[in-house]
Amino acid sequence: MTHRGGALAGIKVLDLSRVLGGPYCTQALADHGAEVIKLEPPSGDETRAWGPPFDGSTSAYFRGVNRNKKGISVDLSMEQGKEILLHLLSEADVLVENFKPGTLERWGLGYAEVLSQRFPKLIHCSISGFGLSGPLGGLPGYDAAIQAIAGLMSVNGDTTTGPMRVGLPIVDMVTGLNAVTGILLALYERQRSGHGQFIDITLYDCGVSLLHPHVPNYLASGKEPVLTGNAHPNIAPYDSYATGDKPIYLAVGNDRQFEILCEHIGAAHLLKDERFTSNSQRSINRVALKTQLELHLSTHEAQELASALICKGVPCGAVASVKAVVEHPHTTHRQMLVKRDDYQGIASPVKLSRTPAVYHSCPPSLGEHTYEVLKTYGYTDAALETLTATGVITCG
């Protein structure tokens, strides 16, 4: 039996975050049944303007990480706005925010002093660049800057390009996933203790956590990694290789896969070459190996070769464009695209058999549900009109 409410049905989340890490986290929670209220300032989440492209007046960027949420607009710099926040928190299980560290404390809403006292079951997830303390504590952080300072750029790129940013906001998204993990751990622990807790998630920590195997390699050898482009520092052949038309990526993880590769491309003689008899030898002699492989790969077309090799058990793939991925039949088969009304986006990759993700609503316009949500918390029409007139709330 499939339960359409989702695995997190009954969990209420107040989302004060903006940009990517926090919204990515709360969309994942919402996809799996949590009731998420996204609270934005009157100016809105800044990513609403991060375009083109736009869908109407809202950027595709914003719409990509804010589905399944109710959207309200409240000015938290005003006392009445803070009162609304506290009212919403009275029924919330989880608070997610990515204010600059210390902001809630300055507003008299710090977790230790106020929120944990008033709402002992509340799980407060704070996402920041570097945390509140330490040499970098309290400083702002965006994905690309963290990729630089946390070492990711130093291992991405080659000797021609120099250090490169990974071509997607990987730190923000991994931070969002770690926030989801932390929230689920805290919810599970709360079942035993009856108490909430504070979750401290930083972009810096998450960036450093991605440095595998580079940090373990450095700790073991004392040698800093060098730029290797698409190649793996520990495995060969594990790189992008030229073929007769476009590149193919070969991810050969063991000797048997190497044997199948060489036999398929007519390079069986390489199996007897002492330079290539084991992964360690292939890694040491990777430049010579690449030259030899590309001589034989030049007579093959990438897509045909990739299809043949992967069916024989060799992990590989022709380098595909975003358009090709969107149109790939396996993307459709895995239901990795969502289409609802005028909304299209990437689906949840988490497939639960009884409680699958549900896509019930499009990303909200700014303040779209302000009146609807606040009425459920007891605000009257007259009170809402007053709050609107004084600029405390905005109704879309």
* 232 alpha carbon, distance to own chain's centre: 23
Structure-token match 């073991």, residue found: 220
Catalytic residue flag (residue 172): yes
**292 C-beta neighbours (distance < 10 Å), count:** 19
Distance CA 238, CA 283 (A): 9
Give DSSP secondary structure letters for 287-344: HHHHHHHHHHHTTS-HHHHHHHHHHTT--EEEPPPHHHHHH-HHHHHTT-EEEETTEE
Strand partners, 394: 73
CA 368-373-375 angle, to 5 degrees, is 120
Q: What is the DSSP secondary structure assignment for residue 268, as one 8-state letter?
A: G
Q: Which of 15, 31, 172, 239 is catalytic?
A: 172
Using an 8 Å Cβ cutoff, are 285 and 291 in contact?
A: no
- State the catalytic residues: 172
